[in-house]
Amino acid sequence: MQIKYLDQVRARNPLVHNITNIVSANFSANGLLAIGASPIMADSVDEMDELAAASSAVVLNIGTLNVHKVEAMLAAGKSANRAGVPVVLDPVGAGFTALRRDTTARLLREIRFAAVRGNAGEMAHIAGVAWQAKGVDAGSGSADLQEIAQRIAQQHGCIAAISGETDYVSDGSRTAKLNNGTPLFPKVTASGCLLSTVVGAFAAVAAPGDMLHAVAEACTVYAVAGELAAQGLQDTQSGSFAVSLIDHLGSISARQAADRARVEWI
């Protein structure tokens, strides 16, 4: 896979506005700084218009919802749409509670998203496919993840990215199957949330019409950084992995990512 946006993220230092959850805010901000972007983590509805319009990307994460945060997300997303700023959705636990289900549906209805990134359970819910999700975790199911990604992309006019042991990134017609990663990712809370912010950073520098490649590249770079971070660690060393992941997001090169990338276009 050609890695063409990582160096652009570092050169352009895009401002990525995150409305995220209390679990992931610090980890996501540090990860964005490491990879070369500039994070802002703000959720007051009173400043959403200014922040969203001044940002290079907006990432909306529904992990810890309340009525004020929902209104802030709607304001930020709509302002970003008006300004032509790409918006990314992370539908954490989308099918778990009525609030999450209703919020996900409303956000998808009222905001144009450049990308939606979630685990299999979250994305299956959005696609209307049966899946046994476990809270905010992926859970299990037998549905075809490629078809789920394609369906979401087609229904919502976005890039759909499903993360897991294998990642699927689709624009509705073309799909990238990404085979990098490490079993330590699900042992670190907010590792998926950080990926969504990284997707936002890459979306911010994507060339017109090239969002599919930008999102697939973001997922690949992140997964390869995880592989490098996990080297020499036991499966019980999730704390060490979390720190090492931030370090490797800062040090990974385009050549390293390209050499280790295992990508199939299907």
Query: E strands along 120-222, which residues?
Result: 132-134, 137-140, 159-163, 167-170, 175-178
At residue 47 the predicted structure's pLDDT band, cuts being 50, 70 and 90, is very high
Number of alpha carbons in the 13 Å side-chain half-sphere of residue 198: 28
- Residue carrying structure tokens 């901000």: 29
The secondary element (H helix, E strand) that includes residue 23 is none
What is the phi-psi region of residue 117: left when phi exceeds 0, alpha when psi lies from -120 to 50, beta otherwise? beta
Average pLDDT over residues 246-250: 99
The residue among 53, 69, 66 whose CA lies nearest residue 97 is 66
Q: What is the pTM of this model?
A: 0.95
Whether 142 shows a pLDDT value over 70: the answer reads no
What is the phi-psi region of residue 240: left when phi exceeds 0, alpha when psi lies from -120 to 50, beta otherwise? alpha
Average pLDDT over residues 111-119: 98
- Say what the pLDDT of residue 130 is: 74
Average pLDDT over residues 131-154: 72
- Say what the pLDDT of residue 139 is: 47
- Is 41 annotated in some ligand binding site? yes
Whether 134 shows a pLDDT value over 60: the answer reads no
Torsion, CA 144, CA 148, CA 150, CA 156, rounded to 10: 170
Q: Phi and psi dihedrals of 161, rounded to 5?
A: -125, 120
What is the distance, to the nearest Å, from the Cα of residue 263 to the centroid of all Cα atoms in its chain? Answer: 18
Strand ranges across the sheet with 87-90: 38-41, 15-19, 57-61, 87-90, 115-119, 159-163, 167-170, 175-178, 263-265
Q: How high does pLDDT run on average in the chain?
A: 95
- Is 196 annotated in some ligand binding site? no
- Dist CA 180 CA 165 (whole Å): 8
- Is 140 annotated in some ligand binding site? no
What's the chain's Rg over C-alpha atoms?
A: 17
- Is 76 annotated in some ligand binding site? no
- Choose the weakest-confidence range: 9-23, 76-90, 126-140, 242-256: 126-140
Whether 138 shows a pLDDT value over 50: the answer reads no
For 264, residues 6+ apart whose C-beta sits below 8 A from its C-beta are: 176, 177, 179
Full set of structural domains in the chain with CATH: 4-265 (3.40.1190.20)
